[in-house]
Amino acid sequence: MGTNPVLDMTEYHVAGILSLEERYGFVLETNFLQYKEAIYNLIEEIYNRQKYEDIKKFSKTIPNEDLFSTSQSAFDLLPIPDLLEHEFGPTNSRDIEEYIDAYQELGMFMEKAVRILIAIEKILNGETLSYSDIKKFNTGNYVAELKSKKNFRPLVHSFNITVHNALRHAVGGKLVQPSLKKVKFMDNQNSVSWTYETLVRQTRDLYVLVYLLSHFENLLHNHVLKKLLNCE
C-alpha cells in the first residue's frame, strides 16, 4: 500500500473480493483457485492484445439490468452461500430442493455472464459488436462454443446447460428420487441424472464461478491500472 491512492483503493477492493475462501469453508472444496487463474489469464490476454478499450466500449451497450455490476450487487444479497456452507449430514429431499433452487438462481446470473464472455471472445478475434448483437442467440450454443476455446473453457466448466434449461420448465423438468438419492433433470431429448452429493458439489462450484465472474470488471480494471502504473 502507499504507492498510489487510486491503486491502493482498487487493490483493497480486490483483496476483499478474493477473500471468499477465508469467509466460507466450502469454497476450499471447489475449483475457486482454478477459476481465479482462468479469469486472470483472460484478463492478461485482453491487456496484451490491447482490447481493453474495445471491451469498455462494448460494456456501454449493455442495459443496466444485465451489467456485471448490477448482477454483482443483486448477487451479494442472496443467502446462497449460507445454504452452501451449512453441513446437512445425510442430505434429505427437503435440503436438496433448496440446492435445486440455488442452482436455478445461479443459472440466471450465469446466462448473463456467458453472453458477456462470448462477446469478449469475439472482440479478441477482432469483431465489433453491441450487446443487442448477442442477446438474441441461444445460450446453449454459446456454452458449447466457449467450451471449445481453451482460455474460456474453465469459465463455463460448471454450468450444465441441460440442468439449467430443465429448471426453466414450469413442470416436468426435474424428478427428485428420494429412494435413490438422485435428481433427474430433463430438457427436450436431453437428460442428466445427479446424485444428491453431485448436486451439492456442482451448486457450490457454480456459486464460486458466478461470484468471480460477477466481479470481472473490477478485476479487469485493477489489472489494467496496475499495468499502466507499472506497479506490479
pLDDT in tens, 141-164: 899 999 999 999 999 988 999 999
Across the range 195-205, mean pLDDT stands at 93
Inside any domain, residue 63:
yes
Q: How confident is the model at residue 50 (pLDDT cuts 50, 70, 90)?
A: very high
Taking the C-alpha atoms of residue 191 and residue 172, their distance in angstroms, rounded to an integer, is: 12
Q: Report yes or no: 32 and 211 within 8 Å, Cβ to Cβ.
A: no
Range of the domain at 152: 5-164+197-229
pLDDT at 51 over 70: yes
Inside any domain, residue 23:
yes
Amino acid residing at 161: I
Taking the C-alpha atoms of residue 175 and residue 60, their distance in angstroms, rounded to an integer, is: 41
* Greatest Cα-to-Cα distance within the chain, rounded to the nearest angstrom: 60
Taking the C-alpha atoms of residue 184 and residue 134, their distance in angstroms, rounded to an integer, is: 31
Q: Work out the percent of the chain whose per-residue pLDDT is above 90.
A: 47
Q: In what order do the strands lie in the sheet with 182-187?
A: 174-177, 182-187, 190-195
Inside any domain, residue 148:
yes
Which cell goes with 164?
A: 439449467
pLDDT at 1 over 90: no
pLDDT: which is higher, 3 or 98: 98
Q: What is the pLDDT of residues 87-146, one digit of tens each?
A: 766 566 678 899 999 999 899 889 888 988 999 999 999 999 888 888 777 888 899 999
Which cell goes with 67?
A: 451489467
Q: How far is CA 219 from CA 39, 93, 126, 215, in A?
A: 9, 38, 22, 6
Inside any domain, residue 61:
yes
Inside any domain, residue 42:
yes
Q: To the nearest 10°, report the CA torsion of 96, 216, 108, 126.
A: -140
Inside any domain, residue 223:
yes
Taking the C-alpha atoms of residue 43 and residue 14, their distance in angstroms, rounded to an integer, is: 14
- Residue 74's Cβ-side half-sphere holds a number of Cα atoms within 13 Å equal to 12
Q: Report yes or no: 155 and 39 within 8 Å, Cβ to Cβ.
A: yes
Inside any domain, residue 188:
no
pLDDT at 72 over 70: no
Q: Which of 208, 205, 160 has its CA nearest to residue 184?
A: 160
Taking the C-alpha atoms of residue 112 and residue 195, their distance in angstroms, rounded to an integer, is: 27
Inside any domain, residue 10:
yes
Provide the domain count of the chain: 1
